[in-house]
Structure 1
Amino acid sequence: MIKPYVLIGRQRTLILALGCSALLTGCASDSPSAQYAVAQSQVDAAVGAGGTEFAAIEMRAAQDKLKQAAIAMHGADNSEARRLAEQAEWDARVAERKAQAAKAVKAASDAQRGAQDVLGEAMRSAR
């Protein structure tokens, strides 16, 4: 059987832990730097995927919003910086997906062309 004073101690510990986590969550949400880092990482991934070539408009939007987020962070406008960083992240995600889709279409087209070449060669060999 659990002794009453042990239960009270556990309740205090739980309340203290919840309070600390709420405090830390509140502090973390004030700074947009984490969201900015995520957005920067996503922009880098989109560039690596070929976003500048296959999704130039979305990449430009993502990069512009990321720059605006940096300016807002330096101006201590945290909510605007966070909003712009989130938008930059999603624009970069769209650019990355468009680039991946364009590469997949190109690869499928190349594969189809290769298959037609092989078929044509086989037909010539069969004659």
Structure 2
Amino acid sequence: MELTTMNTRTATHTIKGPRGLKLAALVVGTSLLLAGCAGKPPSEQYAVTQSAVNAAVSAGGTEYAAVEMKSAQDKFKQAELAMQDKKYDEARKYAEQAEWDARVAERKAQAAKAQKAVQDARQGVNELREEGLRQAQPTAQ
């Protein structure tokens, strides 16, 4: 059996001139931009989360969705602590989780209120029906 070797060429050309310089500048600029994003406080997310938590409280989340509300408030507090420690990625993560927990609490509270309104309406209809039946029965004299 005969062993043959294969000669292969690899690309060894380099980009020279203005095009290469532009490409290098683009790579460096992109790297700096990405590094800058990692060190930026998540102020917008923080504000959105604070608004979501406030909306959940206003909707009755503490009464109708106590578990979800507590989770949202705890995660929001963790986000605040991470912001103070300048751990912005961690702060963003906690803020996002707190936002979603708060939204769940708000929806759960709204659903519970709607269900209570339906029950109240049914009770009102039943009371009216009973009253109508009483009035329709002839009174004995």
For the criterion TM > 0.5, the same-fold answer is: yes
1:96 & 1:28 partners in 2: Cα distance?
31
2:80 & 2:66 partners in 1: Cα distance?
21
User: What is residue 21 of structure 2 aligned with on the other side?
Assistant: none
Size of the alignment, in residue pairs?
Answer: 104
The one-letter amino acid paired with 1:77 is K
Q: How does 1:41-120 map to 2 (within 5 A)?
A: 41-120=51-130
How far apart are 1:29 and its partner, in Å?
A: 8.2
What stretches of structure 1 of length at least 5 have no aligned partner? 1-18
Deviations 1:46-68 (A, max 9, x none): 00000000000000000000000
TM-score by length of 2: 0.70
Q: Percent sequence identity over matched residues?
A: 63
RMSD: 1.7
How far apart are 1:30 and its partner, in Å?
A: 2.5
4+ residue runs over 6 A deviation = none
1:90 & 1:117 partners in 2: Cα distance?
41
> Which protein shows a greater Rg?
2
1:82 & 1:49 partners in 2: Cα distance?
24
1:87 & 1:61 partners in 2: Cα distance?
9
Structure with bigger helix share is: 1
The one-letter amino acid paired with 1:104 is A
How far apart are 1:44 and its partner, in Å?
A: 0.2
User: What is residue 126 of structure 1 aligned with on the other side?
Assistant: 136
The one-letter amino acid paired with 1:62 is A
1:85 & 1:120 partners in 2: Cα distance?
52
User: What is residue 35 of structure 1 aligned with on the other side?
Assistant: 45
Deviations 1:58-82 (A, max 9, x none): 0000000000000000101000000
| Mapped contact 2:39–2:88 kept (Cα < 8 A) | no
2:102 & 2:38 partners in 1: Cα distance?
24
2:43 & 2:121 partners in 1: Cα distance?
44
